Each structure stands twice: as C-alpha cells, then as structure tokens.
C-alpha cells in the first residue's frame, strides 16, 4: 500500500462505504445513523468492560468501573461488584491497580481495541460490500475506535511510552491520564514546570496518533486475510 493511501485508508473506507450504502438516499442515511447509535450504545459498555478484563488478565486489580445508566450501568452494577452506575463520561475505569507494572497498564488500555482488529474493520467492509446501511453504521464505532480515542486511551498509551524515557520519566503522574484536555489544563495551571513537560505531552499525543494508525492497519491486514479488501466505489 502506498504511504498516502495507507494514511487515508480509514477515511476512504468510510466514504466509499457510505457511497455504497446510500442506495435509497435519505432513508439509507437514516439507517446508517440509527446503526451508528446502536453500535455506539453497545460499544461503550463493552469497551469499558474490556478495560477491566485487560487489567485483571494482566495481573492487576479493578475496584471501580463507571458506566453511565444510559449505557446499561445500572444493570452491570447489579452483575459486577466493581461497576458503578454513573460517570461524568459515558464510561470510565476510574479505579484500578497495576501494582506498578506499565505492562499491566498497557494491557488495560489496549484490551478494548481488539474489537477494531476483529470484527471492526472486517465488519465495516463486509457491511459496505453488501450495501447494508444499518450494519455499516453499527460497525463504525468498532472500526474507528482508535481514532475516536485520540484524546483518551490513545493519548494515555503514548504517555505511558513517553514517561518511560528521560527526561519525562520524572513526571509520570503529571503526563499520564486518559483525558488529554485535562492534562493540558493541569500543565497550564503549573508555572513551575519546564518546557520539556509540554514537549512530552505533544510527543505522547503524536505517539497516540501513530498507534491509532498501526491498530487500523493491523485490522486492515486481518480483514484482507478474511477476504474483505478495502471498500471500493
């Protein structure tokens, strides 16, 4: 794949998929939108539960997983002792212990994005190929999750990597987090920090973008292996 084509592949798949699915004009567009809302409603709690599963599987401990009631938080709170119904976010793993292991931390962050590897990209292309507007919309949150997480999990993954390197290893608590905007606000409040902290934040954000593309490309490779090539007009 050419470099430019590789960088535009996610956008091309989405636009070409829309082109194929919008066979009935506004009605098809409405079906894509309904499918996307349904897919997002399913994806949010599954995403958060996979964060918890990744942490536990890697040897960590989970004490608090917040899921908004609109996404089934009340039901999950009755089923799992560490789930709390309610959050300022749609969902968030706010209480977990990695026992000081960055590998456990990474596993916690990375776990939900197996859904991009499969069925995300594969399902997006399959639905587009079959001109299934509802299925195409439902696949969008799963396939595009790494890019939707650029200011959240993707940034945090980059920050974990950056804070293992000098000079940023001095500020892990300051730079790490799953909310890039919150990190920017925190740095802006501090007048005693060197410019290197801002450089670390920028590098972490950049690494998050690189990771998002790498995840998509891995999903692309698996989808091709399973017979789903990039969507064509």
**Structure confidence by residue, pLDDT tens digits, 55-114:** 999 999 999 999 999 999 999 999 999 999 988 889 999 999 999 999 999 999 999 999
| CA 151/CA 27 separation, integer angstroms | 33
Residue 29 token pair: 């567009």
Q: Phi and psi for 65 in degrees, rounded to 5?
A: -125, 115
* Separation of first and last alpha carbons in the chain: 18
202, 175 Cβ separation under 8 angstroms: no
67, 76 Cβ separation under 8 angstroms: yes
pLDDT score, position 64: 97
pLDDT score, position 1: 63
Mean pLDDT of the chain: 96
| CA 38/CA 20 separation, integer angstroms | 20
91, 71 Cβ separation under 8 angstroms: yes
Summarised one tens digit per residue, pLDDT across range 20-33 is 999 888 999 999 99
* pTM exceeds 0.75: yes
3-state secondary structure labels for all residues of 88-131: CCCEEEEEEECCCCHHHHHHHHHHHHHHHHHHHHHHHHHHHHCC
Residue 162 token pair: 């950056």
Summarised one tens digit per residue, pLDDT across range 157-212 is 999 999 999 999 999 999 999 999 999 999 999 988 999 999 999 999 999 999 99
* pLDDT exceeds 70 at position 5: yes
165, 149 Cβ separation under 8 angstroms: no
Summarised one tens digit per residue, pLDDT across range 222-231 is 999 999 999 9
Residue 61: in which H helix or E strand, if any? strand 61-67
| CA 140/CA 123 separation, integer angstroms | 9
pLDDT score, position 50: 98
């Amino acid at each position: 794949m050419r470099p430019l084509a590789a960088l535009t592949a996610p956008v091309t798949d989405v636009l070409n998929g829309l082109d194929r699915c919008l066979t009935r004009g506004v009605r098809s567009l409405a079906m894509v939108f309904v499918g996307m809302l349904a897919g997002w409603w399913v994806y949010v709690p599954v995403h958060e539960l996979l964060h918890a599963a990744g942490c536990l599987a890697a040897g960590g401990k989970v004490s608090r997983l917040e899921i908004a009631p609109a996404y089934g938080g009340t039901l999950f709170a009755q089923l799992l002792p560490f789930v709390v119904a309610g959050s300022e976010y749609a969902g968030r793993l706010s209480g977990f212990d990695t026992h000081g292991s960055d590998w456990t931390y990474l596993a916690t962050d990375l776990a939900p994005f197996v859904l991009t590897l499969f069925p995300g990209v594969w399902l997006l292309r399959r639905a587009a190929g079959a001109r299934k507007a509802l299925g195409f919309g439902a696949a969008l949150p799963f396939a595009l999750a790494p890019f939707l997480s650029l200011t959240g999990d993707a940034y945090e993954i980059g920050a974990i990597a950056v804070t293992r390197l000098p000079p940023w290893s001095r500020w892990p608590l300051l730079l790490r987090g799953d909310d890039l905007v919150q990190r920017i606000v925190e740095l802006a409040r501090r007048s005693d920090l060197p410019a290197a902290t801002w450089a670390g934040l920028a590098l972490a954000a950049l690494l998050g973008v690189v990771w998002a593309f790498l995840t998509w490309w891995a999903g692309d490779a698996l989808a091709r292996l399973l017979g789903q090539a990039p969507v064509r007009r």
